[in-house]
Amino acid sequence: MKNLFKYLISGSLTAMFALVAFALPSLSDEGSIARGGQLYDKWYSVIKEKGPQETHPAWPATNTAKSGDTTWRCKSCHGWDYKGVDGAYGNSKSYLTGIKGIDGMAGADIDAIIAVLKNDTHQLVDLMDEGDFKDLAMFVSKGQVDMSQYIDTTTKAFSGGDATAGANYYNTLCSQCHAKEGNKPKDMPESFGSLMGGNPWEGMHKILNGQPNENMPALRALDRQITLDIMAHMATLPTEM
C-alpha cells in the first residue's frame, strides 16, 4: 500500500513535470539566445575585449562612413531588423553595405550556422570561443523576430502595443535605470522618444536581448506582448530633453 502510494505520487509528479515541459517548449534556451543577441549587437563588448581596429575585410570599400571596430558588429552588416540590404539598412547612409540579412537562416541547423560564422568571410575563428559561436547560432536560428509585424518599414510607425499597460511595465522594470522620461543612465545618444522615431528596430532588439556588458535584463523569455506594450509607451516619451 505504501509503495503504491509512493508510486502514485512519483507518477503524478512526472506527469506534472511533463506538462510544464510541454507548456514551455520554446523557453528552454532563452538565456543562450539572449546572450547570442548581445553578441550580434557588440560581441567584443560582451566578451570584454577591445574590438579589432582595422576595418572588417568584408566591409565594402564604397562605404567610407564607417570604419574600425563598428564594422565588425553583426548588426552593422546584417541590420537590427536582421534583413540586411532588404531592411532598414538598405536605405541607410552610414550602414549601406548591400549585404544580405540573416533571416534566411532563421530556423536553420545550429552547426550549419556555426560553419558560416567560422567561414573566411567572417574572420572570427581566432576571436571567439565555442560557447560564443553556439550562442550566436542559437540567436540566428531561434531568436529572430520578424519586426515588420510591428514596425512599418517606411514610416517606422509602431503598432501592436498598449501604451497604458506599457507605462506600468516601464515604470516598474525600466525607469530605475532609464528615468521616467527615458533619457538615462549614462551615454545614451538619444532619449527613448527619439529612439522610437529613429531606430525602433534597435530598441526592440535590445529590449528582447539586453544591452551588451550592462546589467540590463532581457525580456525575451516573457510574453512578447510585454515588450510590445513597453515600446508603445516609449513612443509616447518626450524626444527633446
Residues of this chain that interact with ligand HEC (CB under 6 A) are 40, 43, 56, 58-59, 71-72, 74, 76-78, 99-100, 102, 104-105, 113, 116-117, 119, 121-122, 124, 136, 140, 173-174, 176-178, 185-190, 195, 203, 206-207, 211, 214-217, 219, 230
Q: What is the DSSP letter of 158?
A: B
Q: Could you tell me which of 231, 53, 61 has the C-alpha nearest to residue 158?
A: 231
Whether 220 and 33 have beta carbons less than 8 Å apart is answered as yes
Q: What is the DSSP letter of 147?
A: G
Whose Cβ is closer to ligand HEC: residue 43's or residue 150's?
A: 43
How near is the Cβ of 18 to ligand HEC at its closest, in Å?
32
Q: Could you tell me which of 229, 209, 216 has the C-alpha nearest to residue 185?
A: 216
Q: 3-class SS at 151?
A: strand
Instruction: Report d(CA 239, CA 196) in Å as an integer.
Output: 9
Whose Cβ is closer to ligand HEC: residue 116's or residue 153's?
A: 116
Whose Cβ is closer to ligand HEC: residue 153's or residue 211's?
A: 211
Q: What is the DSSP letter of 187?
A: -
- CB atoms < 10 A from the CB of 152, how many? 11
Whose Cβ is closer to ligand HEC: residue 149's or residue 168's?
A: 168
Backbone angles phi, psi at 41, to 5 degrees: -75, -65
Whose Cβ is closer to ligand HEC: residue 106's or residue 153's?
A: 106
Whether 192 and 200 have beta carbons less than 8 Å apart is answered as no
